[in-house]
Structure 1
Amino acid sequence: MDVVSFRTPGLGDQTYLLIHEGKGVLVDPQRDIGRFLDAAAERDVDLRFVLETHLHNDYLSGGEQAALRTGAELIMPAAAAPAYRHTPAFHLEDIDGGAGLTVRPVHTPGHTPEHTSYLVLIGGEPVALFSGGSLLVASAGRPDLLGPERARSLARLQHISLRRLAALPPEVALYPTHGEGSFCTATGAGRLTSTIGAELAHNALLSIDDPEKFADALLTAPMPIPAFYRHMGPANTLGVPPMPPVHVPELDAVPEGNQVLDIRPRQAQARGMLPGSLGIELDDDFGSWTGWLLPHAEPITLVAEPGQDVAAAVTQLAQIGVDTVRGVVRHLGEAATQTYELLELDAFVERLARPGAQLLDVRMPSEREQARLEGAVERFLPDLFTQGVPTELDSARPVLVVCASGRRSSIAAGLLAREGYRASVLTGTGAAELAVELGGEHAA
């Protein structure tokens, strides 16, 4: 048996291809199925099953399309009841894959009500567990994505599910879908894969015997929920169309009514963006931030540097159901008049000390608790888009923006510049280093 993993770092997820004697099992594929099917073809694998652990909240699934493309059998939790053809997986009803390969569904509600993990047996011996959003490395799938009304009930179910999985043999390999960087984890997830034995030894959640205390641990300080999540579950229930071809026309100007999204490096954005545009530089989490901050499904024109990989940006957007990129503009000329400033730590501190300087902290509340910046106006980056620029900020005075690395603060600075503010961004390690530099009550 061999397991090939496919990491999607911007979403904090992994897809898996299990191979046994030429037969393949694909687990939780994302919408861009080409990379998985190409890997199977390169290894001369006959794809036997496509397994879905749950109706995903953080991306569009490629499960149905992968099954249709290859003739594999699509297996989904029985309680998911999607609107397309599939084989329902019932708790502990084994599915025979031939050549000694058996897939055993294990109902593990908690992350979602229908959630099902899959235990793989070879020759009757359990060897691998695909746990989706149930038992994660050093964590568990969060139970609050379907709303606060159901969160505590699902958290108690997650407690039962984790204990059920922890009873498996310690040598069983653990392959979760959600991992480090995912907003589907209840606490910060660690490594990408593990074993049942390692989790028994190191996963603190498995040591909590009381279901209510377990629920408290999962729900006391939940992470924010990205705005685009609300669109993923319904789409995965009704069926996801094939991913469209990645083709982006070259444009000389932005079409009327388009959102203008600048994906160039922040150094280029700071020197000048098109008026009215938003800057989110292309990186692994580009799609997530775009889906979180921009109105869903509105037409988009990208602004990119000559030679920049626009296909990567379009693919990330397609993974979360944004198929509305109308084209790309690569030559801005003198039209790029929307600017902000990038500053290293020493220059940022000096600027902050000047009369009239204003400090805006766009980190998450949990981050701010670890390194507080006294006197800062605090507004998490997505709230800056939904609630607007804080009224405490004076547009006639400079605004210095900080986060942990400069990524979120550069997005915020672009928004501030669009609204007529003079913004400066702290680059580098960000708020924690600034807190230490300022000293006293500012220190982390």
Structure 2
Amino acid sequence: MEIVSFRTPGLGDQSHLLVHEGVGVLVDPQRDVDRFLRVVAERDVELRFVLETHLHNDYVSGAEQAALRTGAELVLPAAAAAAYRYTPAFHLEDLTGGRGLLVRPIHTPGHTPEHTSYLVLADGEPAALFSGGSLLVASAGRPDLLGPERARTLARLQYGSLRRLAALPPRTGLFPTHGEGSFCTSSGAGRHTSTIGAELTGNPLLALAAGGTASTAPGASAGAADGVSTGAADAADAAEAFADALLAEPMPIPAFYRHMGRANTLGVPPMPPPRVPELTATAVPAEARVVDVRPRRAQAQGALPGSVGIEPGDDFGSWAGWLLPYRTPIVLVAERDQDVTEEVVQLARIGMDEVRGVVRDLGPAATQTFTLVDLPAFLRHLALPGAQVLDVRMPAERKSARLDGAVERFLPDLVTEGVPAALDRDRPVLVACGSGRRASIAATLLAGEGHRPVVLTGAGIPDVIAAHAAHRAA
């Protein structure tokens, strides 16, 4: 048996292809399915199943298209109630893949109500668990993405799901969909794959859930009991304690997440073409939002008024989906020789398909500017009378390192809540984050509102704090 994992770092996710004696199982494929099907073809694999663990919150799925293109059987959790044809996966009702391969669905609600993990058995032996957004490496799937009203109920359900999975044989391989960098995790997830045994000793949430006597393993037989023999009151108290831990420090939820479930329920069309037409600066449609993907130094020297600057990177699509109205028409701005294929693909992964074109020559229209400075220059600006600082890091980051006197507003909140009223347009705004990436994005938003941003690049707020501490100690 071989398992090929396909990482998508910007979303913190991975899809998996299991191959056993020429039969393949594809799990949680993202929309750009060509990268998966290319490996299927190269290895001459008969793709038997395309499995979805849940209706994803962080990307639009490629499962339906992968199944249509290959003839594989599309399998979704029975309660997904998608609007297209699929085979419903019921708890512990095996799916036969042939050549000694069995797929055993295990209902694991918590991340979503319908969530289902899949235990793959080869020749009767548990070999791999595809846990989607349930049990993760060093973490668990967050239960609050469907709203705060349901979060505690789902957290309690996640407690039972993790206990169920903890009963699997320790050597069972663990292959989750969500991982490091995903906003679907309840805490910072670690490595991308693991084993049940390793998680029992190294995953604090699983240790919390699995305390006490574990249940009979779902891998033992299709009709095995899967309950936990504890007193009802004790179990309820334990589930509440687990929910408290899971919900203690929720991370922000990207704005585009609220659109993903609906898209995945109704069906996702094929990927749009990755190539987009060239436009002139004067031909940008009035209804389009301009996203500048040039390096930050080029953006600082001059950009189209009102444009949002997001440098290329693994997380480009996530930031665009968080900062722009969903499915708004988009025009990219790029340098003359800059390939924007990856940016178009990242946007399409979250259903933002309306990229109208790319502008490569801004001409005299590039009037929006900001200033980039290194740490020593930033500290000099900070020492001037009346200096004002904007910290655009996440709240959790600020808890560990806070700069006295800084105005604090997480980057996406500049869009939803606006620029803080405390910032004076008549004075420069010193903008910082952890390294300069988010600060440069924020600078374009500030510049569009008439502010004069001065961005700390190549360093962040912790470096400013450390420099101050070193100065005081000297």
TM (norm. structure 2) is: 0.92
Whole-Å separation in 2 of the counterparts to 1:90 and 1:297:
34
- Confirm whether residue 57 of structure 1 aligns to residue 57 of structure 2: yes
Counterpart position of 2:222: none
Deviation of 1:96 after TM superposition, in Å, equals: 0.6
C-alpha displacement of 1:255: 2.2
Q: Which amino acid aligns with 2:122?
A: I
SS at match of 1:439: helix
- Secondary structure of the 1:296 match is coil
CA distance in 2, matches of 1:7, 1:190: 14
Q: Aligned pair 1:19/2:19, yes or no?
A: yes
Query: Given that residues 332 and 355 in structure 2 are in contact (C-alpha distance below 8 angstroms), is that contact kept between their aligned partners in structure 1?
Result: yes
SS at match of 1:309: coil
Q: Which residue of 2 aligns with 1:104?
A: 104
Count, aligned residues: 443
User: RMSD of the TM alignment (CA)?
Assistant: 1.4
Partner Cα distance (1:215, 1:359) in 2: 37
Pairs within 5 Å for 1:69-108: 69-108=69-108
1:115 paired residue number? 115
Which residue matches 1:202? 202
The answer as to whether partners of 2:201 and 2:207 remain within 8 angstroms in 1 is: no
The yes-or-no answer on 1:278 pairing with 2:308 is yes
Partners of 2:339 and 2:200 lie apart in 1 by 43
What residue is the counterpart of 2:214 in the other structure? none
Q: Which moved more, 1:131-140 or 1:298-307?
A: 298-307
Q: After superposition, where does 1:262-277 map in structure 2 within 5 Å?
A: 262-277=292-307
Indicate the percent of aligned positions where both proteins have the same amino acid.
73
What does residue 223 of structure 1 align with? 251
CA contact (8 A) 2:374 2:459 kept: no
Tell whether the 8 Å contact from 2:256 to 2:350 is kept in structure 1 after alignment.
yes
How big is each residue's C-alpha offset from its partner over 1:309-333, in whole Å with a ceiling of 9 and x where there is no partner?
Answer: 2111100000000011100001112
Task: Tell me by how many angstroms 1:336 deviates.
Answer: 1.4
**Alpha-carbon distance in structure 2 between the residues aligned to 1:429 and 1:143:** 34
TM-score using structure 1 length = 0.98
Q: Which moved more, 1:191-200 or 1:248-257?
A: 248-257
Please report how far the alpha carbon of residue 158 of structure 1 lies from its aligned counterpart in structure 2 after TM superposition: 0.3
* CA distance, structure 1, for counterparts of residue 6 and residue 384 of structure 2: 49
Deviations 1:171-226 (A, max 9, x none): 11100000000000001100011010110010001222421111111111100000
Residue of structure 1 equivalent to 2:408: 378
Q: Deviation digits for residues 386-415 of structure 1, max 9, x if unmatched?
A: 111100000000100111111111110011
CA contact (8 A) 1:356 1:398 kept: no
In structure 1, the residue matched to 2:342 is: 312
Tell me the alpha carbon deviations over residues 48-84 of structure 1, each in whole angstroms, 9 at most, x when there is no partner: 1000000000000000110001000000100111111
Residues 436 and 277 of structure 1, relative CA distance in 2, 3 Å threshold: same
Q: Which residue does the alignment assign to 2:242?
A: 214
Residue pair 2:392, 2:438 contacting (<8 A) in 1 also: yes
Q: Of residues 266, 269, 273 in structure 2, which corresponds to 1:238?
A: 266
Deviation at 1:426, TM superposition (A): 1.1
Report matched runs for 1:318-333 at 5 Å: 318-333=348-363
Answer whether contact 1:348 1:426 (CA < 8 A) is retained: yes
Q: Return the alpha-carbon distance in structure 1 between the equivalents of residues 24 and 43 of structure 2.
A: 10
Cα deviation, 1:107-136, whole Å, max 9, x if unaligned, reads 000000000000000000001000000000
Distance of 2:412 and 2:469 partners within structure 1: 28
Aligned to 1:356: 386
Displacement of 1:257 in angstroms is: 2.1
State how far apart, in whole Å, the 1-side matches of 2:329 and 2:148 are.
32
Pair 1:298-2:328 in alignment? yes
Task: Provide Cα deviations, 1:261-288, integer angstroms capped at 9, x if missing partner.
Answer: 1011111111111112110111110000
* Distance in 1 (alpha carbons) for counterparts of 2:275 and 2:339: 12
Q: Which amino acid aligns with 1:216?
A: D
Question: Which ranges in structure 2 are unaligned for 5 or more consecutive residues?
Answer: 212-237
- Give distance in 2, aligned partners of 1:276 and 1:413: 11
* Alignment-mate amino acid for residue 132 of structure 1: G
Runs ≥4 in structure 1, deviation > 4 angstroms? none
- 2:172 equivalent in structure 1: 172
Residue number in structure 2 paired with 1:347: 377
In structure 2, how many angstroms separate the alpha carbons of the residues matched to 1:211 and 1:425?
A: 46
| Structure 1 residue matching 2:412: 3-state secondary structure | helix
Q: Which residue of 2 aligns with 1:408?
A: 438
Secondary structure of the 1:321 match is coil
Residue 84 of structure 1 aligns to a residue whose secondary structure is coil
SS of match in other structure, 2:146: coil
- List runs of 5+ in structure 1 lacking aligned partners: none
- Per the alignment, residue 399 of structure 2 pairs with 369
Amino acid in the other structure paired with 2:426: A
Q: Give the CA deviation at 1:306.
A: 1.5
What is the distance in 2 between the residues matched to 1:439 and 1:411? 28
